[in-house]
Amino acid sequence: MSEPRTRRFVILAEGAFGEVSSKTARGVIRFASTPTVAVIDSTKAGRSVGDVIGASAGERGHVPIVATLAQALALPEPPTALLLGTAPVGGSLTGTWRATIFDALAAGLDIVNGLHVFFADDPELAAAARTTGATIEDLRRPPSRLDIANGRQHLPGKRVILTVGTDCAVGKMGVAIELAQAARRAGLSATMVPTGQTAMMIEGWGVTIDRVAGDFLQGTAEWLAAEGEHRADWAFIEGQGSLDHVAYSSVTLALIHGTRPHGMVLVHQPGREVHTLFEGVGRYARLRSIDEHIRAHETIAALVEPSKVVAIALNTSLYDEAEAHRIIEQIAAETGLPTDDPYRFGPDPLFAAIRARLDVPPAA
């Protein structure tokens, strides 16, 4: 993925900004070094990003929400790239967006696409891009490498941490980013390893693992861990899905058995009771308890390489601050594990606790 220094994003999130399905938009606004200059969502036009998503906009709460691409192009610092900002189930392109993508290409904007549909394979879109020299970046296109896991061992002195979770869209990416930042603040060499399209937009590299073929899932996860170890001493790998998810558990497992982490950080949102976007899936919708998740992750990891859950990262956004602290203390007491909300209260204490547990390399 090219990432020109002068790039500025406009994020297309029509009708969905602030919803769970726009987690890509939220992540890019908050974490990407490339600035977002506008969000397109006609249902919320005139408001600012911060009005809708609050503190999770980070320093970019002032970014305007506009109704049309034309309004974004009329800004004093217009965007140079259109980023598809929602991640619907299945990643399919909805028909009404197509015109906006053509308009963006006609205006010379690059397209940054994390959907399962590859725009560069669409002859009309490809032709439109050629006309203005715009690039189309299909982040979910799998690497041409066909990596079968070969059981490589970690490099000496490295620490590989995988974020796992009790659900999709629970904060695994953000926790990995925050912990890597905390490690760097502690004077360590640290990197975040993107395994999804949003983190790729933020970090500028990685693989969207959910689009890799079954035979190569674990080999690609292994390659990503190796790449993280080459980049830094502490590699925080973004997890995907959850082990009890009717649709996505195999991708979760591939990251556990492929990266074979020194430790796992379990991410959970207290108060969430059913799997996001799968509320309709009756008997499979209910989230399992933290305890069940800890046992399942450790049992399943040990089938290939033992690994422990070394910390719990909570997203306490459904509760006020006092209640959040109460929940954190309760879960810490119940699990005996370092527990905190790294978004709300900062990731440094949680990273320090993880470091204390993992600073000594496990016996070979």
**Residue ranges binding its own copies (CB under 8 A):** 89-92, 116, 142, 146, 148-151, 209-215, 217-219, 243-251, 253-254, 257-258, 278, 281-285, 288, 296, 299-300, 303-305
Q: What is the closest distance, in whole angstroms, from the C-beta atom of residue 297 to its own copies in the complex?
A: 10
**Residue number, 37 or 217, with CB nearest to its own copies:** 217
- With a CB cutoff of 8 Å and minimum separation 6, the contacts of 42 are 14, 15, 67, 68
3-state secondary structure of 163: strand
**Residue number, 26 or 116, with CB nearest to its own copies:** 116
User: CB of 312 within 8 A of CB of 332?
Assistant: yes
**Residue number, 46 or 306, with CB nearest to its own copies:** 306
* Helix spans in 32-171 (H): 49-53, 69-73, 97-106, 123-132
Q: What is the closest distance, in whole angstroms, from the C-beta atom of residue 26 to its own copies in the complex?
A: 20
> How many Å apart are CA 39 and CA 274, to the nearest integer?
29
Q: What is the closest distance, in whole angstroms, from the C-beta atom of residue 303 to its own copies in the complex?
A: 4
The residue with tokens 């940054």 is: 112
Q: Which of 60, 58, 78 is nearest to 68 (CA)?
A: 78
Q: What is the closest distance, in whole angstroms, from the C-beta atom of residue 222 to its own copies in the complex?
A: 8
**Residue number, 73 or 304, with CB nearest to its own copies:** 304
**Residue number, 70 or 148, with CB nearest to its own copies:** 148
**Residue number, 240 or 339, with CB nearest to its own copies:** 240
Q: Which of 319, 298, 309, 289 is nearest to 350 (CA)?
A: 309
Q: What is the closest distance, in whole angstroms, from the C-beta atom of residue 301 to its own copies in the complex?
A: 11
Taking each helix axis from N to C end, the angle separating 97-106 and 123-132, rounded to the nearest 10 degrees, works out to: 30
Q: Which of 100, 96, 142, 92 is nearest to 125 (CA)?
A: 100
Q: What is the closest distance, in whole angstroms, from the C-beta atom of residue 119 to its own copies in the complex?
A: 16
Q: Please give the structure tokens belonging to residue 59.
A: 């320093």
> How many Å apart are CA 26 and CA 42, to the nearest integer?
17
> How many Å apart are CA 236 and CA 178, to the nearest integer?
9
**Residue number, 90 or 336, with CB nearest to its own copies:** 90
Q: What is the closest distance, in whole angstroms, from the C-beta atom of residue 248 to its own copies in the complex?
A: 7
